[in-house]
Amino acid sequence: MSQPDLYVGKIVHFVGVSDQVRGRHLPAIVVRILEDQVNRVVLTIFTDQIESGVASSSRREPSVSYSAEMAPGTWHDIEECHRPREKT
Ligand SMILES: [Zn+2]
């Protein structure tokens, strides 16, 4: 498994766990890096308020591990195809 580049403020994907967003790749920002465990972070996750059915459009996920396999409840680098294209 390659080591992802990790820093506070990085935007990543969190794979949804609960019913409405299960398996969905949600935008999230790394707000803290947990030093004691490799690639484990605190995330603030952003959801579509209407789709998710919850009152708040962001929530804290206190301990999220990295998964290159993109398992629910984990984070990963945003796939190349979802990144903005470079200006020409
Ligand atoms: Zn993703």
Q: What's the distance, CA 36 to chain centroid?
A: 19
For 11, phi then psi, to 5°, come to -95, 130
Nearest to 44 by CA among 25, 26, 30, 63: 30
Q: How far is the CA of 70 from the centre of ligand 1 (A)?
A: 7
Print pLDDT tens along the chain (88 aa): 455 689 999 999 999 998 778 899 999 999 999 987 789 999 999 987 665 566 678 889 999 999 999 999 999 999 987 777 766 6
Q: Write out the two tokens for 62.
A: 């206190």
Q: How far is the CA of 35 from the centre of ligand 1 (A)?
A: 24
Q: How far is the CA of 14 from the centre of ligand 1 (A)?
A: 7
